[in-house]
Structure 1
Amino acid sequence: MLNIEKTLQSVRDLLDRLGKEGVEFTLVESEYSDYVADIRNPNKVYVFLECSIRPNGTFVWRDYDHHKGVCDFDEFRVRIITLTANKYLDKAKDKRKQWASLCEGTDTPMPESLAVTVSDMEDKASRLKALLEPDDPPLLDGRDIAILKELKPYGVVKPAEESQRLRELGVLERRYYIDQVFDALTDKGEKALEFASHVERTKRRTS
């Protein structure tokens, strides 16, 4: 089986698994000669502005937060699951904010139908994140990338709360050597930085 055939089968299996969680991405033949297939977003869940697969099995993508990148299937799997889960969390958060705004800050319970909708979104996000493997790295934001890149050998991330947060994220670990205490990147942290190196910030489009 050719590499691209293996990649396409892996994508079909992944999209089928996402579909079982109610997230219907679509794999279609690409309109462009440089690509063999495109991946289309589910209805009203805007994950990728563009996402295509090259003949060599790599993925070219652009999101709605002005990022773009090229990656292999393993990274794409982490990216599509994480970004989709985050979109559902964002939608749930927006619903909560809209309700709080309507209530002008008063502590008024949401109507049952709205509460169920929000809960379903949050549950879906949790189920999606459960599809990640234990050694899959998180997708880091710019601040976390900077902190990890600036960490020197035998250094400690400060303030302590940041060190604790990154350790809970699994990208840092606390180490001890004789009388020294320091923070060090984990394998997951190294992989997270590798994934981040494949991403570029794009220019905002002006009207």
Structure 2
Amino acid sequence: GYDVWLGNVRGNTYCKSHLRLNKYMEKFWNYSFHEMGNYDVPAMIDHILAESGHDQLFYVGHSMGTTMFYVMCACRPQYNTKVRAMFSLAPVAFMSQFPPLLKLLARYYKQILNVLTQNHIYEVVPTEPWLLSTEANLCRDGSPFQTICVEIVFALIGRDYTQFNKSMLPMMVEHLSSTNPRTLTHYAQMINSGRFQQYDWGP
């Protein structure tokens, strides 16, 4: 069998602890997937290899987990030799073909970021249990709102009825994870440019 380690990322449901900061502070959210790929993924790999005694591991990434891995490979290529193989599930790097709604939102990311900053909103998609439970109930089988839930998902990730199990919506919604404006801004910049790039701090 295989020794399986499940990685975690900053700011999600299970990772909001810090030695000196808390989730209500702006500085807590001062990162994007660049920092996660440049610092966090290498730290995870080093920890796993040290604990297991192996020289290499297999990496399976999903969505932003793939983006983080690509960042690590670009910024810290010495880690390439520590990974025997990498498997990308729903990979995210070149984003010019994303759905129209995300392209529209990306076009106005500066204005959206200003609104979030002015209102001290540092956590996007809050994960309060009562909110997730309510959303899951609205998206369950038999709910008159389930079709709306499906259309929202398709607007964000693309339409594919053949590979989408709407009965799984409540579980998906209940496990939504929060993120931060800077990560979303970084993705918006990549949607606009069509490139896999570093964060653009502007002139």
Task: Settle same-fold status: TM greater than 0.5.
Answer: no
Return the index of the structure with the highest Cα Rg: 1
TM range (shorter): under 0.3
Q: Which has the higher contact order (CA 8 A, sep 6+)?
A: 2
More helix, by proportion: 2
